[in-house]
Structure 1
Amino acid sequence: MYRRILVPVDGSETSNRAVVAALQMARENGGRLRLVHALDELAYLSGYEYSADLLKQARDQGARVLEDAQSMAQSASVPADGKLVETAGRRLGELVAEEARAWEADLVVVGTHGRRGMSRFLLGSGAEQVLRLAPVPVLAVRTPHGHDGH
């Protein structure tokens, strides 16, 4: 049974679909979710004069994304906690694998389409990295063709 389910989130429709799928599995199996939002510091520290402000905005947005996903879990009566992880240029697949091992996840649920934030990593190579590097089974939740949340 999959009771400890890790879900990378970014606030996109695709990410939300992954959360919904994970919540359904957790509810059926008496499980819980660990929601992870990856923040690549290097993306905000590359020559911008106001990089500290941009980084703070990115952290605030990440916190909101995690809060929204936790609210979804609360509505579904599924225990969930969130973690904002600052990646500093590390690949999403490595980060997810590390978090899955550290938290002793049974399953990773990941969205495979999207346009904003972390989801840019999930267009192709990122999802493939997660599938290849995760130490546990991975459920890839696809957004139907033509539905990318915008």
Structure 2
Amino acid sequence: MFKRIFVPVDGSDTSLHALQMACRLARESGGVLRLAHVMDRAAYLTGYDVSGGASGALFDALQSSAQKILAEAQAAADAAGVQADTVLVNELGSSLGEAIAAAATGWQADLIVTGTHGRSGPSRLLLGSGADQIIRLAPVPVLVTRG
């Protein structure tokens, strides 16, 4: 059974569903979770500044949002009684799939659990489906959940 389960989280409903599935798998197998959030480079690529300020303020806003997403995911894992830790993946030069594959490899994950999507609109068109990228580049099996 899977003992080291890597779970990308982005705060979306599909991400939450994947986290819930990963928690069930971890409980059943005695496994642990690594909850990872990849800094969103879509804002840089599209020129959309969510903070309304300069690039330094944008980075701070993205990092603050990422930390909130990770804290919420950690709280969900804790509530499910599953051992988990978090990591903020800051690979702004990499695609989502590349960043997740590298982080999962570095942690020696034996499974990645992800939702079917978390992005929409221009971000999805520009970056492609996150789940598709992960499946293509993952060094380990990938369980894709539908929310």
Is the structural similarity TM-score above 0.5? yes
Q: Which letter does structure 1 place at the counterpart of 2:83?
A: P
Structure 2 gap ranges (5+): none
Q: Which residue of 2 aligns with 1:91?
A: 95
Could you tell which deviates more after superposition, 89-98 or 66-75?
89-98
Judge conservation of contact 1:15–1:111 (CA < 8 Å) in 2.
Answer: yes
Ranges in structure 1 where 5+ consecutive residues have no aligned partner: 144-150
Check the 8 A contact 2:5/2:112 in 1, yes or no. Answer: yes
Distance 1:59 1:12 in 2: 17
The offset of 1:73, in angstroms, is 0.6
RMSD of aligned Cα (Å): 2.3
1:63-142 map, 5 Å: 63-115=67-119, 120=124, 125-142=129-146
SS of the residue 2:6 aligns to: strand
Q: How far, CA to CA, are the matches of 1:21 and 1:133 in structure 2? A: 21
> Which of 58, 64, 74 is matched with 2:62 structurally?
58
User: Deviation of residue 129 (structure 1)?
Assistant: 1.7
Matched with 2:39 is: 39
TM-fit CA distance, 1:47: 9.1
Q: Is the 8 A contact 2:23 2:77 kept in 1?
A: yes
Instruction: Tell me the TM-score normalised to structure 2 length.
Output: 0.85
Normalised TM-score (structure 1): 0.84
Identity across matched positions, percent: 51
For 1:26 and 1:16, how far apart are their aligned partners in 2? 15
Contact 1:97 1:135 in 2 (8 A): yes
Give the deviation of 1:128 after TM superposition.
Answer: 1.4
My pick for the range that moved more, 60-69 or 89-98, is 89-98
**Partners of 1:15 and 1:77 in 2: how far apart?**
18
